[in-house]
Amino acid sequence: MVSAVMPTYLRQPVAFVRGQGVWLYDALGHAYLDALSGIAVCGLGHAHPKITAALAEQAATLIHTSNLYQIPLQDELAARLCQISGMQQVFFCNSGAEANEAALKLARLHGHRRGITAPEVLVMEQSFHGRTMATLAATGNPKVQRGFAPLMPGFVRVPFGDTQAINQALEQHPQIVAILVEPIQGESGVRMPDQGVNDWLHQLRTLCDTHNLLLMLDEIQTGNGRTGRYFAYQHSAMLPDVVTTAKGLGNGFPIGAVLVQGKAVDLFSPGMHGSTFGGTPLACRVALATIEQICNGAMANAEEQGAYIQTSLRQRLRTFDVEITGLGLMIGVILPKDAPTLVDAARKAGLLFALSSGNRIRLLPPLIITKEEADLLIDRLTAVVSAFLNTPEAQ
Ligand SMILES: Cc1ncc(COP(=O)(O)O)c(C=O)c1O
């Protein structure tokens, strides 16, 4: 059957009919270990009883009223996010791209406040920030930009992790007012900065303080417990000015947020930004329930199981030219060559993950994965990777 859905996605030949914890099931009852979590979304796994209950209860009480009225659940969620993060104010939206759009508007406002009429934002090569026109221009991947020229102006790009390049860019572009960066690059294949996340973030913080720039961290993928802290910057003793989040915040229910502190507070005033669906009672209730579970065990488990999976994979794949990278349950397995058949082979063996840049396996399993399930993941991954690397085509 020809689908009437626009062909924007290259879909795998499988549909899931239900999920439970880390498992997804197809119509024939085959079980798949979901080591992708809907691309870092279902951190608490599928059909989590607390999330189901929050969703059902709130849906039966009040779904939506609009931001024309007070929404106490929004205030409650904003307060909780600020308490967790050290930030001061929150704007709610519905997706990662929308959160980054809001952040980019904040950067422009910060620039105009400084008297800069054509502000620019510094972004990284190989970054991913979304598919809307502004976030597409911010994204450092020519493939996703192809066909959409003219791209929105106002971005300057440097290599990820390169502070010297940032210094040069700042000299050449005095209109730069903000840096937008992922602490660990996700979509391009779990890329860590060479100097480590901690040093990288501290270097960025110092540069932003020196030059009066907003430090804007895109934690859409790294946030919500994924790396073993609520946000990845919490591995370091520093605060960004702006943090964007979405994905895991609603465990599959759409919600995004922009958190600000310091000089990014009160840049927006009434009428400057908005979203019909942003921060509905339903979305906020689900996010509050999700945060509670992340903070009560899931995040700590992500740190523990993440370290275990990384160590085990290093050991099990030691005879191959393979690099294991990442933090918490955001794990990359970098293969010595492109592996176009690997995702299919793994799915047939009951394991779901994604591949980036041709040779970078991305593992983003639910934060609630047990040690036994982690062992299964390790066994299945080791088997498919070994089989692939032992075939003549991979030599
Ligand atoms: C770091 C990062 N930023 C932004 C986005 C865009 O989020 P969304 O697809 O919800 O618009 C993604 C999605 O993969 C992401 O990983």
Cα distances (Å, whole numbers) of residue 375 to 21, 68, 364: 15, 50, 15
The predicted-structure confidence for 93-150, as pLDDT tens digits, reads as follows 999 999 999 999 999 999 999 999 999 999 999 999 999 999 999 999 999 999 999 9
Which amino acid makes up residue 394? A
Query: Quick check: 395 pLDDT over 80?
Result: no
Residue 394 Cα, ligand 1 centroid: separation in angstroms?
Answer: 32
Confidence (pTM): 0.98
Among protein residues, the one whose CA lies closest to atom 4 of ligand 1: 129
Pocket test for ligand 1, best of 220, 242, 253 (most atoms within 8 A of CB): 220
Residue 221 Cα, ligand 1 centroid: separation in angstroms?
Answer: 7
Query: Quick check: 394 pLDDT over 80?
Result: no
List, in order, residues 6 or more apart from 218 with CB less than 8 Å away.
96, 100, 103, 127, 129, 180, 181, 182, 244
Q: Active-site residue numbers?
A: 128, 218, 247
The predicted-structure confidence for 349-374, as pLDDT tens digits, reads as follows 999 999 999 999 999 999 999 999 99
* One CATH from 1.10.630.10, 1.20.1730.10, 3.40.640.10, 1.10.1580.10 for 50-293: 3.40.640.10
Nearest to 304 by CA among 232, 373, 370: 370
Query: Quick check: 307 pLDDT over 70?
Result: yes
The predicted-structure confidence for 339-348, as pLDDT tens digits, reads as follows 999 999 999 9
Residue 128 Cα, ligand 1 centroid: separation in angstroms?
Answer: 7
